[in-house]
Chains A and B, each alone.
Chain A
Amino acid sequence: MRLLRFPGEAPAWTALLPRSQPAWLLPRRAWPTERLARKPSRVACLQPAGFFGVLAMLMLVGGTALAQGPTYGIGTTPTEENIRAWDISISPTGEELPPGRGTPEEGALVYRQKGCAGCHGREGKDGRAPRLVKREAEPSTDPWDLGRILPIRAPYATLVWDYINRGMPLNREGTLTADEVYALTAYLLFINDVIPDDAVMDAKSLPKIEMPNRDAWAPLPDWKPGMPRLQGYPY
């Protein structure tokens, strides 16, 4: 599909936007500094603001309901395998978790075999790398006061799995099998008193773990363009 474009103006595909597009897909007001930099022109409707404005009006009056298609036809389609190989983002509900399983006991072994202990110390303390086990504390202690230790502060256990999988062991990332990552996660959760020693971690059980900080964090504000950072903040 080839569409005509005004040089330097909004691509003509914007005319094809269906009416039901969410607000953020609508053409945005011109970038103010670019508007400032441009000499005043008498062809006002060719200025981005005016051009977009007219478009927006046209769409309100009776926009075409064409599906949005690619404009430039550049880029290639990855295969399902490509995507699976690259997609290492594990959501809080764990959809992306691969098959596999592990227990704290197996994890304790992997922790030594894979060199974790060499950097983080035996049982996650007294190593050169950050501590991985909370300090002794009353059971009533606010989890926020147990230190910045991933397997205790993370709101979701899936994050511990995700981090070990993508980032550890340092310098040899990507060398752990899924079973090993499940086992290491189980071990670290166990030494932090999050799970019992007989718990089995897999794609089903891991997302179900109630981390102490699960709901104890403040969600971010619903961000909109041109929004002050905190409503009601006087500065």
Chain B
Amino acid sequence: MGSTRPDRRRFLKGGAALASGLTVGAVEPALGQLPEPSTFIKGSDEMVAYGERSRFVTSVRIAHPPDNRPSPDEFGLVFHVASPLQDSVGMITPSSLHFVGTTRGSFVPEIDPREHRLMIHGLVDRPLTFTMEDLRRLPSVTRPHFIECAGNRSSPRHTTVQETHGMTSCAEWTGVLLSTLLKETGVKDAGKWIVAEGVEEVKGASSIPMEKAMDDCLVAYGMNGEAVRPQNGFPLRLLVPGFEGIFNSKYLRRVKVVDRYYMTYNDYGHLNREPERAALGYQIGPKSVITFPSAGQQLPGRGFYEISGLAWSGGGAVGKVEVSTDGGRRWMDAEIQGTAHRMAHTRFRYQWNWDGQQTELLSRCTDELGQVQPTRAQVAEFFNAPGVPGQDNSIQPWRIASDGSVHNAIT
């Protein structure tokens, strides 16, 4: 930012304590910015038509994993992109910051919604094709759901919560229940699975059990109050609440009802030798992470802080979140913000007075099924193997150093 206007410099100086993202509260009251005419943003047609965030808010997504494959790569393919959880507030991820995952590197198809069709066929009584207009006429539901990538795993090399946990996001999705459409086509007795396929070049197709398809899968055209964004599947995306990200086919154009696991390329990517690992990589486990304070952030000094974080589970609603401020010796119930929705991020909060001593902050989620988020040591012991086999839902410790710097404490 090259501006030399004194009012801006003064603001930036005050706000520099927090490097990026939301700087609210970081400015000392005495240095507060007074509105002067020169600091007003001039109206433009763009501002009238489609709003923009403040240029002082610089929170952005990053390629994931940070030390792996470049994105875009040499073919122009974009691979995984992680959401800046360290700056998140509330439970909804803005569409622009929603994480993006792909089966492999992919291009985003440019789809004219007027041309788009969803076909349902296979072991059905009446195959049907729906236009976007058709879908808009059908009874709809709106639900908040998280989507998390199976690759969302913490590593000692990661230095921020965006790197350790940024491959999860939560949006409010609107669309037609897949069960509504499947009842419209009818399903033959032999139809035990569906294969849901998108338009993009590998047409990301996954086998999904019919029980799930009829339970809560959602054919979504809306995301956070507007059309689904292209990177998230415009114009139509399948939501498979609580299942790994890859099941949530983007650019949905075809649902085929089949009699068995179809071993698609996505399914192949999921294969495991051991049944335990396969099972744990299917439905997302109970999980939580403290987003403030989190690694890479800096506490200005001892005193009061509201610890805040996100919890979620593929097993249903979050039942309880506990926080430990002493490295896991004592656990206290955190406050849950509002209603805990099923398969949705849930914001939790805990009031904390930091005494200035080095310590570790942890959070632990228990879901409505009673599944409890494990420590890394517990997972390693269960599998008798190092690391966290299967999908990683282990407890994330953050170390607060006595100088107020915050670090990833996993080893």
A residues touching B (Cβ–Cβ < 8 Å)?
11, 13, 22, 24-25, 28, 31-33, 36-37, 68-72, 74-78, 82-83, 86-89, 91-92, 128-129, 144, 150, 153-156, 158-159, 162-163, 166-167, 170-171, 173, 213, 216-230, 233-235
**Candidates B129, B211, B284; contact of A24 at CB < 8 Å:** B211
Since A74-B134, A170-B201, A235-B372 are in contact, a sample of 10 more A-B pairs with Cβ atoms closer than 8 Å, ordered by chain A residue number, is A25-B187, A77-B126, A77-B128, A88-B203, A91-B258, A155-B268, A213-B271, A217-B273, A229-B284, A234-B382
Contact A217 to B271, CB < 8 A, known contacts A24-B215, A77-B129, A89-B258: yes
**Candidates B187, B264, B279, B371; contact of A162 at CB < 8 Å:** B264
- B369/A33 in contact, CB under 8 A: no
- B316/A218 in contact, CB under 8 A: no
- A163/B314 in contact, CB under 8 A: no
Question: Which one, B324-332, B373-381, B400-408, is touching chain A?
Answer: B373-381
- B134/A33 in contact, CB under 8 A: no
**Candidates A74, A128, A227, A228; contact of B137 at CB < 8 Å:** A74
Complex-state Cα separation, A156 to B283, whole angstroms: 25
- B214/A71 in contact, CB under 8 A: no
Q: Across the interface, which residues of A come within 8 angstroms of B138, CB to CB? A: 72, 74
- B129/A76 in contact, CB under 8 A: yes
Complex-state Cα separation, A128 to B378, whole angstroms: 40
- B374/A128 in contact, CB under 8 A: no
- A36/B339 in contact, CB under 8 A: yes
**Candidates B210, B256, B283, B372; contact of A87 at CB < 8 Å:** B256
Q: List 19 A-B contacts (CB under 8 A).
A: A24-B215, A72-B184, A74-B184, A75-B129, A75-B184, A87-B254, A88-B203, A89-B264, A129-B75, A218-B272, A218-B275, A220-B278, A223-B209, A223-B283, A226-B316, A229-B279, A233-B280, A235-B286, A235-B379
- A235/B373 in contact, CB under 8 A: yes
- Is there a chain A Cβ closer than 8 Å to B205's Cβ? yes
B250-292 near A? 1/0 per residue, CB < 8 Å = 0001101010111111001001111111111011111000000
B contact residues, range: 35 or more
Complex-state Cα separation, A71 to B125, whole angstroms: 14
- Interface members, chain B 165-202 (any A CB < 8 Å): 181, 183-187, 189, 195, 197, 201-202
Expressed in whole angstroms, the minimum distance between the Cβ of A163 and any Cβ of chain B is 5
- Is there a chain A Cβ closer than 8 Å to B139's Cβ? yes
**Closest residue of chain B to A232, judged by CB?**
B276
- Interface members, chain B 98-134 (any A CB < 8 Å): 119, 121, 125-130, 134
- Is there a chain A Cβ closer than 8 Å to B321's Cβ? no
**Closest residue of chain B to A222, judged by CB?**
B209
Expressed in whole angstroms, the minimum distance between the Cβ of B132 and any Cβ of chain A is 12
- B262/A83 in contact, CB under 8 A: no
Expressed in whole angstroms, the minimum distance between the Cβ of A192 and any Cβ of chain B is 15
**Closest residue of chain B to A25, judged by CB?**
B214
- A91/B262 in contact, CB under 8 A: yes
**Candidates B125, B128, B209, B215; contact of A75 at CB < 8 Å:** B128
- A228/B211 in contact, CB under 8 A: no
- Is there a chain A Cβ closer than 8 Å to B64's Cβ? no
- Is there a chain A Cβ closer than 8 Å to B153's Cβ? no
Complex-state Cα separation, A104 to B49, whole angstroms: 58
- Is there a chain A Cβ closer than 8 Å to B315's Cβ? yes
Complex-state Cα separation, A142 to B256, whole angstroms: 34
Complex-state Cα separation, A78 to B371, whole angstroms: 44
- A229/B285 in contact, CB under 8 A: yes
- B263/A92 in contact, CB under 8 A: yes
Q: Across the interface, which residues of B come within 8 angstroms of A163, CB to CB? A: 202, 265
Q: Across the interface, which residues of B come within 8 angstroms of A88, CB to CB? A: 197, 203
B346-360 near A? 1/0 per residue, CB < 8 Å = 000000000000000
Expressed in whole angstroms, the minimum distance between the Cβ of A234 and any Cβ of chain B is 7
Complex-state Cα separation, A211 to B377, whole angstroms: 37
Contact A154 to B268, CB < 8 A, known contacts A68-B186, A82-B119: yes
Q: Across the interface, which residues of A come within 8 angstroms of B74, CB to CB? A: 128
Expressed in whole angstroms, the minimum distance between the Cβ of B91 and any Cβ of chain A is 12
- A218/B342 in contact, CB under 8 A: no
